[in-house]
Structure 1
Amino acid sequence: MNASVNMLRKLPIGIQSFEKLRSEGFLYVDKTALVFRLVQAGAPCFLSRPRRFGKSLLLSTFEAYFKGQKELFKGLAIEQLEQNWFEYPVLHLDLNAEKYDSKERLEKMLEFHLTRWETQYGVDKGTMTFSGRFATIIQQAYEQNGRRVVVLVDEYDKPMLQPFDNPELQDDYRKTLTAFYTVLKSTDAYLQFVFITGVTKFAQMGIFSTLNQLNDISFDLEYNALCGMTCPEIEATFAPELQALAAQTEATYDNVVEQLTRQYDGYRFTPSKGFAPIYNPFSVLSALDKLRFGDYWFASGTPTFLVEILKKTDFDLRELDGIEVSSVSLSDDRANIGNPVPMIYQSGYLTIKSYDPKFRVYTLGFPNEEVKYGFLNFATPFYTPVSSTDTSFYIGKFVRELCNGDVEAFLTRLSCFFADFPYELNSKTERHYQVVFYLVFKLMGQFTQAEVRTAIGRADAVVKTANYIYVFEFKLEGTAEDALRQIDEKAYMLPYSVDGRKLIKVGVSFDAEKRNLGKWIIKE
């Protein structure tokens, strides 16, 4: 198998139109059985998923179904499930394609959609408000077609997220959208189906408070795979592409699947057991198309706003991977800038790792290597003097020095790293420096086995290269001798004593006055 397979089969990267996907022969992971289940349930639904997970394509699939475009579903599961293909009026509101930096931008977007629908259904807007016009359109569409109306809202929260640091503008948006969406309750008798998507649930408090009939399926086990892909789906749909990727990367088929899993899998959207982990569809399709692994999802939108919140709240970055949160905090729809973790979770940078039903506590963590290393690489310049383009360069040099057994060079480079801190960073607390140590060693894990320990009774960091195993202990309050003594007394080296690689202990003190590394001792 060679790369020419990609010239023969079309991968739906960035395709948001179901009609285009099906009519132009793009490959499709069949989600129509789940679509049919939702349609039959009939309840107004809300689904929260990270960006680029296929929410827009899902809404387009609903639109094609409700418009009775049976020919587009030929060969798919729903073709056998649906016996009656009726055509309903569909109002599809897409709030994604706009930058909402002023009140006028939101009004312009709503005006665009309302005017289009009024033209379609012959409605005179007169002097009515946005909500009045929306209600009139729904009623008129129902009366003209004799069938109830379908309303699809894509990225409902986009206007609310962009001005998050502008409370006044956000309040204006909330009032406008609340009045607009409240229509979905008052016109319920005219509605056949309502489906709303977004990245977060936070804006619901102000916007959907009156829609008590809205069914949030974001955590439902049966809809865990509604967006995204499972491993069986990938192997069943993209087998030739997987073979081509294996050939291009000179790996076996199994190794390619294993690397896809390591880099792009790991999303869990339900506390229930028996789920199939979800792969990021955008990254998987991009890797199969370009025949190489890369940080495709992360590079398509960086979390500047989230990292800024972490800085403002002085959040300890070391706690992020493996943090425990209450179930209430993940389902809470009130945005709290003092608690950034739920927003980081809903944005897709953390996922559910486990759930304790007795205490109703979730353990969260990075879903995969793409997100983990992408997020930490992106965060590093916010905590250190290294620019975003230099992070991998710096970390690569750190790793190379340890691979060569040159601990002196490693520590000297680390010392220079701290010495370059600008004044505003040098005034940070000791915890800030602990976070920097954490980032350096955590990011080394991209290139070699590096572990950062935070549990009691374990070394601060362990780095394993082909020929060496290093055990590091840093003392913010204490001497390098104290650090080395702790390695011996707590037997940190014992687990590696029969490994065969050369064992090296490194004790380092921190000089509070110089705000840098102090003395270090290296002992084999």
Structure 2
Amino acid sequence: MKYPIGIQSFEQIVEDGYIYIDKTDLVYRLTHEGKIYFLSRPRRFGKSLLVSTLKNYYQGHKELFKGLAIEKLEKEWNVHPIFHMDFNGGNFTNASELEGALKEYMERWEKEYGLATNEDLGIGFRFRDVLEAAHKQTGRRAVVLIDEYDKPILDVLDMDSTLEDRHRNVLKAFYSAFKVADAHLQFVLLTGVTKFSQVSVFSGFNQPKDISMDARYETLCGITQEELDSYFAGPIAEMAATNQCTPEEMRQSLKLQYDGYHFSKKMTDIYNPFSLLNALDSTDVRNYWSSSGTPTYLIRLLAHFKENMNELTGKYYPPEEFIDYKADVERPLPMIYQSGYLTIKDYDMRRNRFLLDFPNNEVKNGFLTALVASYLQPKKQLSNWIDDVVDALEAGETDSLCTLFTAFLASIPYTMRRKENETEKERYFQYTFYLIMRLISVYTAYVEKVQSQGRVDCIVETPQYIYIFEFKLDGTADEALKQIEDKGYAREYATDFRKLFRIGAVFSSETGTIGEWKTITGK
């Protein structure tokens, strides 16, 4: 089986015999039930392939759709003039990049339809004239497909407010053509990560229908469980044999790593297609999506991040708090959600609230790694350090754990501990340890676990050992151990066969690392 990894051309996938998940019944519905759409999906989720599929459909390439669902649905196969724009390749941190790209597109289209270039006209009016000419000359209304429409803004978000405003105004003027040229338009689709509806990008024309959370189109991009079982039963069996497990165990491993996205109240499970296809191709479960890079705009936004992830995840939100992006860098939740690092995990119909959490293990690990790098900026190589911590936990080596945590905390620049008052310093250390333990996801880790007599700072469970941590800021390890004893934090493990370690640790606000560490072994 040939996997179309990195291939976004529908015609190449079909002509070269790559596997194609048939979404053309949804394409037919989309093109026949509406006119102007916006679709938000995370990066590498198949938006560009969808655009390519629509382009070939409106070009009347019936032969490419042979055997697909749309072949039986479409009877006319009309050919329409296509205007396809892809902002993926541009570097819009350059001041003139956006205007230059639009100018190049416009000059090409004006030449194609025999129009003289009039640079005195605004870009929106020039595009209006092109759309009108295309309609009159071909007898068919135009189709406009814009891929990653928001990249010109995302590239400079929280970097250059002047250039950000300039790009927003340029795009607003350009999209105004859709309103004045409405009679000449057959279909319009804009794809991207974010919806800038609140900052007037779309205010110059009739608002596109946002299908990002429309239950009818939730599976338009990505791979469902049904599609996985239907298209890839053979490859999963081969992958299971390679990894010395059963096909069902292999399915469960893939599900935990790559499944879990939900794009509507219907809650249909969606797999990340980029990661899933990479895993099937290499017969190895790894972090493909997160390893392909964290968006630079998200890294910049994380610098503003002031919430503990345990306060942000596993929480219900009204839709206005995360669906409509409001371009507020101090409130990054909408961007984190729309970028695919959080997804809907439940819907409370009575209160119209959505539960947000990490979609799967790959995303959780990738996001927390990026957050640690942004928030703490350690000098140590994070992946190697995590491996060493896991080895120490497996071996029950608490002295090694002390050494590892001390070295890691000492590697964080002093400037990252930028809080001034004592309470915020304590919160810094608590958050630091929280991030670290969330990254070490090989074993069960509870942070601030609530028990009958109090809240335990951290408990880590491995197959052989249980670690109960209590931390103090500028206190003593004996005080921390006494709290474990007085509050009965170990009581629930009294009949557990595993060896138990009580660990009292002290954070030093002066040195920024572990000041004292003591361990008591046994129940």
After TM superposition, the score normalised by the length of structure 1 is 0.92
Displacement of 1:19 = 1.3
Q: Please state if 1:419 is matched with 2:413.
A: no
Determine the structure 1 residue equivalent to 2:127: 134
Contact residue 383 and residue 432 of structure 1 kept, 8 A? no
Separation in structure 2 between the aligned mates of residue 94 and residue 409 of structure 1, nearest angstrom: 52
Contact residue 323 and residue 338 of structure 2 kept, 8 A? no
2:17 to 18, 21, 25: 25
Separation in structure 1 between the aligned mates of residue 510 and residue 404 of structure 2, nearest angstrom: 19
Percent identical residues: 45
Displacement of 1:212 = 3.5
Structure 1 range deviating more: 316-325 or 334-343: 316-325
Determine the structure 1 residue equivalent to 2:437: 441
Number of equivalences: 512
1:46-98 CA distance string (max 9 Å, x none): 10000110001101111111111111111111111112211111111111111
2:263 to 269, 285, 302: 269
Contact residue 470 and residue 481 of structure 2 kept, 8 A? yes
1:169-215 CA distance string (max 9 Å, x none): 11111111111101111111111111111111136632102333411
Contact residue 53 and residue 282 of structure 1 kept, 8 A? yes
Determine the structure 1 residue equivalent to 2:150: 157
Contact residue 448 and residue 464 of structure 1 kept, 8 A? yes
Determine the structure 1 residue equivalent to 2:447: 452
Q: Please state if 1:187 is matched with 2:181.
A: yes
After TM superposition, the score normalised by the length of structure 2 is 0.92
Displacement of 1:330 = 1.9
Give the 3 Å change call, closer, same or farther, for CA 92–328 of structure 1 in structure 2: same
5 Å matches for 1:23-422? 23-127=15-119, 128-164=121-157, 165-202=159-196, 205-270=199-264, 272-273=265-266, 275-384=267-376, 386-387=378-379, 390-422=381-413
> Matched residue of 2:83: which SS?
strand
> Matched residue of 1:207: which SS?
coil
1:508 to 490, 505, 509: 505
Contact residue 429 and residue 507 of structure 2 kept, 8 A? no
Determine the structure 2 residue equivalent to 1:4: none
Give the 3 Å change call, closer, same or farther, for CA 514–204 of structure 1 in structure 2: closer
Separation in structure 2 between the aligned mates of residue 154 and residue 385 of structure 1, nearest angstrom: 34
Separation in structure 2 between the aligned mates of residue 194 and residue 207 of structure 1, nearest angstrom: 16
Write the letter of the residue equivalent to 1:258.
Q
Displacement of 1:247 = 2.2
> Matched residue of 1:292: which SS?
coil
Give the 3 Å change call, closer, same or farther, for CA 28–485 of structure 1 in structure 2: same
2:473 to 464, 472, 476: 476
Contact residue 139 and residue 190 of structure 1 kept, 8 A? yes
Structure 1 range deviating more: 44-53 or 311-320: 311-320
Separation in structure 2 between the aligned mates of residue 423 and residue 387 of structure 1, nearest angstrom: 12
Displacement of 1:34 = 0.8
> Matched residue of 1:312: which SS?
coil
> Matched residue of 1:52: which SS?
coil
> Matched residue of 2:271: which SS?
coil
Determine the structure 2 residue equivalent to 1:6: none
Contact residue 345 and residue 357 of structure 2 kept, 8 A? yes
1:394-413 CA distance string (max 9 Å, x none): 11212212222221221233
Write the letter of the residue equivalent to 1:188.
D
Give structure 1 stretches of 5+ with no counterpart. Answer: 1-8
1:317-352 CA distance string (max 9 Å, x none): 443432443311223232101101111111111111
